[in-house]
Amino acid sequence: MEKIKVTIGVDIGGTNTVYGFVDKNGKIIHSNSIPTYAEKEANQLFERLFEDINSSVKKIENEYEIVGIGIGAPNANYYKGTVEMPPNLNWGIVNVLELIKRYTPLPSAITNDANAAAIGEMIFGAAKGMKNFIVITLGTGLGSGIIVNGDLVYGDDGFAGEIGHTIVFPEGRECGCGRKGCLETYASATGIRRTVFELIGSTNIQSNLREKSFNELTSKDIADAANSGDQLAIYAFDYTAKILGLKLADSVAYLSPEAIILFGGLALAGNLILEPTKKYMEENLLNIFKNKVKILPSALPGADAAVLGSSALIWNELAKKKL
């Protein structure tokens, strides 16, 4: 009997590194997680990772053939195969694709988390069959992956798709990038927490969120409060959506996508964020674009989304090479 082809999807995070064997339909055959040890150098991770992968391969190799490995990592450069100065890993600049040749002869590719999410949505998720769309990841920051004519937009240097660092207010909130007023300081899980704290300072609206410190408060707390009718939390979602919708109208002017897919922690708030974002985007769209562009939630299962995205990256590469 012919073996079923699977790829390995790897997601490198600041705390854990997760991998899974994924078939062409996005079914995860097996997955596992190991600690990343962010303070150590890159090679110690890959040594432990491939030890773990190899022992897992033994369990499935009678039935499955592994055909490639896709990696999602912070600050990854698809063209160069590198990870460059990731904020949450003590790696400096590492050529990951070179490094893993010590451990595997498989075809490999690497990209950043948001780009992997975009390819994941195209191959397995909400963007199946779409050729032009944008994925916005609303996590600690705001990441984005742009697909044009069925291909990811990497730009001249591999770093395209930084919609989170387009500027909303030139003298606005301080951003981790060293500038001010970037979109991600407003529209992200961190951004909505900042908005809640500004509202606590600037208004007298009663709210249970006044009981929490900034470091305690999560975007899920804000969503829970909004769902219980907390006016300050509701106002915070509306303000977040207003700014995100305004800037997504710009995204449509650039790229005229079929859909914009919201992914990640803050997107889990569902219609608390999707509906007002759509409303404010429509209000700001050029006439020719009105009532055309869908705002959709991610269709990748939350816990497995990153592994599916990384797997989709290499499935997509393998498909291109067969053309």
What is residue 255's three-state secondary structure? helix
Min dist. Cβ of residue 11 to a copy of itself (A): 22
Judged by CB under 8 A, how many residues of this single chain contact a copy of itself? Answer: 40
3-state helix, strand, coil in the chain (%, to 5): 45, 25, 35
Min dist. Cβ of residue 165 to a copy of itself (A): 5
- Dihedrals phi, psi of 293, to nearest 5 degrees: -100, 125
Q: Which is nearer to a copy of itself, 121 or 230 (CB)?
A: 121
Min dist. Cβ of residue 36 to a copy of itself (A): 23
Q: Is there binding between residue 174 and a copy of itself (CB under 8 A)? A: no
The one segment of 22-30, 109-117, 157-165, 304-312 that binds a copy of itself by CB under 8 A: 157-165
Q: Is there binding between residue 179 and a copy of itself (CB under 8 A)? A: yes
The one segment of 45-53, 121-129, 288-296, 306-314 that binds a copy of itself by CB under 8 A: 288-296
Instruction: Tell me the CA distances in angstroms from 315 to 69, 172, 200, 303, 320, one per residue in order.
Output: 9, 41, 47, 20, 9
Single out the residue of 270, 256, 110, 277 nearest to residue 183, CA to CA. 277
Q: Is there binding between residue 170 and a copy of itself (CB under 8 A)? A: yes
Q: Which is nearer to a copy of itself, 2 or 157 (CB)?
A: 157
The H or E element that residue 193 is part of is helix 189-202
Whether the CA torsion 270, 273, 276, 279 is positive or negative: it is negative
- Residues 286-322 as b/e (b if ≥16 CB within 10 A, e otherwise) read eeebeeebebbbbebeeebbbbbbbbbbbbbbbeeee
Q: Is there binding between residue 137 and a copy of itself (CB under 8 A)? A: no
197-256 positions binding a copy of itself, by CB under 8 A: 246, 249-251, 253-256
Binding site for a copy of itself (CB under 8 A): 131-132, 146, 148-149, 151, 153-163, 165-167, 170, 177-179, 246, 249-251, 253-258, 284, 286-289, 292
